[in-house]
Every structure is written in C-alpha cells, then in structure tokens.
Structure 1
C-alpha cells in the first residue's frame, strides 16, 4: 500500500520542536570516586527532584585535563542513580570528540554559539540602518514582549505547568508534587508547596513571588534551594526569591 496524501495512511511519527526543562551539571574536574560521592549527596537532598531527570554535562568551566574525562564512567554513575546524561555543552575539540564517542549529543556553549553566529554572518555585507527612538518603536517593543501565562486553577500533584517564553501567573495553590516552570518570573497567589523554576533559559533577573513559601524546591537560572534550606527564612510567609551573586535570596514581601 502506498503512503500518499490521498491514501489516508499516516506516518508513524512526526518531528516537532520542543522546549524541555533540563538540569546542567557544571563540571570543574573529574575524579570518579569523588564524583559519585558528591552526586549521591546532592540526590539525598532532594531525591524526588533528581529521579529520572535528563542531565547536560556543562564543560564551560572545566579546568581539569581532557585525558581525565571519562564520559562512560560519568554516564554509568548517573544511571546507577536514576539520572540520564543526554549531552555535553561547551568544551574544546578533544572533549567534544570524547563525548561524541560516548554517543552524547553536542551542544554549543555560550562562546561557541556566538562564534558560530559570527561565522555564519561573515559572508554577508553588514548594513547599518538608522533607528530613531520614536513612540512607534517603543510601542512595538512593548507589543513584542511575550504575554504572561495565567493559570486560575490549583496545580495538583503530578502536574507540570510551563511558560516557555514569558512570566507565569498562578491564581491558586501549587500543591506538593507539582512543578511550575517559566522563562521569566513566577507569581503564585497562594501557597507554593511544590517546585517552582524561574528563568529556565538562564535569565538571572527572574524572580519567584508567592503568598506562602512551603516549597519542595525553588530554582532561578539553574541555582536551586530545597525545602530544608528554605525553612530558615520566610517559611510559610509571603516572599520573593531572587538571585544575587549566584545565591538565592529570600525576602519577605513586606520588606522588599
């Protein structure tokens, strides 16, 4: 039977773009025994959060020798702890060749992404256009800002709410076991008992606001704190959470 537009037979799959929340492990050097011990300590802090997550190994701050990198050992250690390594970000040519040999996806680091863009643009002639700061231009900028996603119902255990391009506003509680993610800020007009991840694409200026902090985990631009770390400051009160000098800072809303 032919698979044509008129036969009514559909293909077995389609390829679509997807935005997926992933955790990056910033590797500074690699020692097999120390790596596994440190990984288990991190998992014990929040076992539910780390179980079956996809993981990216970031080599952008790696200072060890390329010859010390053993991606097969890294993958094996992570799998024993129910973590799935799917790719490598950044790294030099030797490190990326080792990653390719371990069947890992290769993702550009920030600098590599910029160089690739420059290389692609090089053959083209640069044309500089005058831009005047008119009210029309300002209005266009405002219009182009991604709209906030608004959720009016409670986010229940096991649910995930995702705002891939802007802020996320939730007008109800986020229950334990639920997860909310946003490229921008997260506003929760109720108790936050689950997990909230803001700035998921790296926006360090993102913030989390909630009426009652009871979270399992909060994260901004990949920096996170778990429940045990949060209970010393602002627990069960209205707070905002922001990133300052690579540390998450919790501030009562009445003092913000």
Structure 2
C-alpha cells in the first residue's frame, strides 16, 4: 500500500463534445433534450465537453451552462474559447478551460445541424486478443473487451451493452447497444447476423435504431466507418 493518500496518474477518456452554434439558452436546452431523448441510456447524465468557439463574451454564460445541465448532460470542461470576456465568465463559473487535440481527431454534437454525434478521439490501443461470450447477454448487462475484439455467440437483449476496443461480432439477435473501437480505433467494425440494435457505434460515430437503413434492419450486416461516416453492407 502506498504511503501517500493520493496518486496522480495520466489516463484518457472518451467524451462527447457539444459544439454550440447558438447563444440562446432555450434553443440550446431544447436541442440537447431532443438529442438525449433519442438515446437516453447512452446520453443521460453523460459527461461532456462544451465547445464555445462560435460564442463571444456578449452571451450570458450562466444561463447557457444551466441550459446544458437541465438537458441531463454533465459539463466537465469547456474548449475552443478565444474570447477573453467569455473566458472570465467561464472561470468564474468554476469550469476548467480545456485544449482539444487535433481538429481531425474530434467530432461533435452540433446544435441546429443534421449530423448528431461525436467524441474526442484518444490514442488508439493495439488489439491483441479476443474475448468470447457464449451465453445470452441480458438487459442491464454491460460487457467490455479492453484492448481486444469481442465475440458473442448468442442473443443480446434490449438494454444490454457491448463495448470493445476492437471489433464486435454478434452471432445472434442484436437488440442492445454495440460500441466498437471504444479506444478510438477507426478501423474497428461490427459484424451482426440479425441487426435490430438500439444503438451502434464505431470510434464514437453512432446510429440510433431509427438511423439504421431499413434495408439492413433485422438482416445480417457489417458496419464500419467510411471516412468519418458510418456505413453498412450485407454480411456475406
């Protein structure tokens, strides 16, 4: 046991980034509530970074902060702030000002724009092995395969969650959530013999059930990223 009461260690986390393109608190609150209601299990109480690059010091930051919090999201930091007056408001609110990585490495939840989602992309961890699950995955279960692929040879119920730093294979009905490339591997893929998922995600890019193309819903499918966009094709 260490003789010191605390330890400081470096780590990395996958966080959604909310880019604000409107300064009206009620518009922000409603837009975010709409996003959260589409995937409550995925977004409710989720920690987020708020990017304010499009805002300036003329806004009421306190009301904006309250609007984001009332949507059910939890603000852990602010990024993209270039306006000194706004920086002062944010510092007074007690939130840290953060610096994002390369522009290419982040996607965003955009207010009043069509593309819904995104994450700050961490360092990709090499995939070295496979985790195999032979039993059904029940509602409420969460299975994580760190630094490896995940193979499930049974059904996955609604409300269950599969997470892998590598690929995910489901040889059964997939009703829950599947998040491949969780550590940022944009080459990760999802293979499924019966795709009826609540949510599918690769390296932070995701589709909700109603965004899965109808031609592939309930079918054998393979999902991967084409550039920065999720794509799907038949699983041959």
Q: If the length of structure 2 is used for normalisation, what is the TM-score?
A: 0.73
Q: Secondary structure at the match of 1:242?
A: strand
- Equivalent pair of 1:150/1:171 in contact (CA under 8 Å): no
Provide Cα deviations, 1:108-130, integer angstroms capped at 9, x if missing partner.
31149xxxxxxxxxxxxxxxxxx
Matches within 5 A, 1:1-256: 21-59=14-52, 62=53, 64-68=54-58, 70-92=60-82, 94=84, 98-111=89-102, 145-152=126-133, 153-230=135-212, 232-254=214-236
Q: What's the CA shift for 1:41?
A: 2.0
Aligned length, in residue pairs: 213
RMSD, aligned α-carbons? 3.2
- Equivalent pair of 1:198/1:221 in contact (CA under 8 Å): yes
- Unmatched runs of 5 consecutive residues or more in structure 1: 113-143
User: What CA distance in whole angstroms lies between the structure 2 residues aligned with 1:167 and 1:37?
Assistant: 38
Query: Aligned in 2, Cα 1:40/1:217: closer, same or farther, shift over 3 Å?
Result: same
Larger Rg: 1
Query: Aligned in 2, Cα 1:14/1:91: closer, same or farther, shift over 3 Å?
Result: same
Q: What's the CA shift for 1:231?
A: 5.5
Q: What's the CA shift for 1:16?
A: 6.9
Q: Secondary structure at the match of 2:158?
A: coil
Provide Cα deviations, 1:97-147, integer angstroms capped at 9, x if missing partner.
5443322244331149xxxxxxxxxxxxxxxxxxxxxxxxxxxxxxx9432
User: What CA distance in whole angstroms lies between the structure 2 residues aligned with 1:57 and 1:76?
Assistant: 12
Q: Secondary structure at the match of 1:167?
A: strand
User: What CA distance in whole angstroms lies between the structure 2 residues aligned with 1:223 and 1:188?
Assistant: 19
Q: What's the CA shift for 1:93?
A: 7.1
User: What CA distance in whole angstroms lies between the structure 2 residues aligned with 1:237 and 1:163?
Assistant: 25
Query: Aligned in 2, Cα 1:199/1:145: closer, same or farther, shift over 3 Å?
Result: closer
Q: What's the CA shift for 1:213?
A: 0.6
Query: Aligned in 2, Cα 1:182/1:230: closer, same or farther, shift over 3 Å?
Result: same
Q: Relative contact order: is structure 1 or structure 2 higher (C-alpha 8 Å, sep ≥ 6)?
A: 2
- Equivalent pair of 2:127/2:165 in contact (CA under 8 Å): no
User: What CA distance in whole angstroms lies between the structure 2 residues aligned with 1:201 and 1:96?
Assistant: 31
Query: Aligned in 2, Cα 1:38/1:251: closer, same or farther, shift over 3 Å?
Result: same
Provide Cα deviations, 1:78-99, integer angstroms capped at 9, x if missing partner.
3323221112244447465544
Q: What's the CA shift for 1:45?
A: 2.1
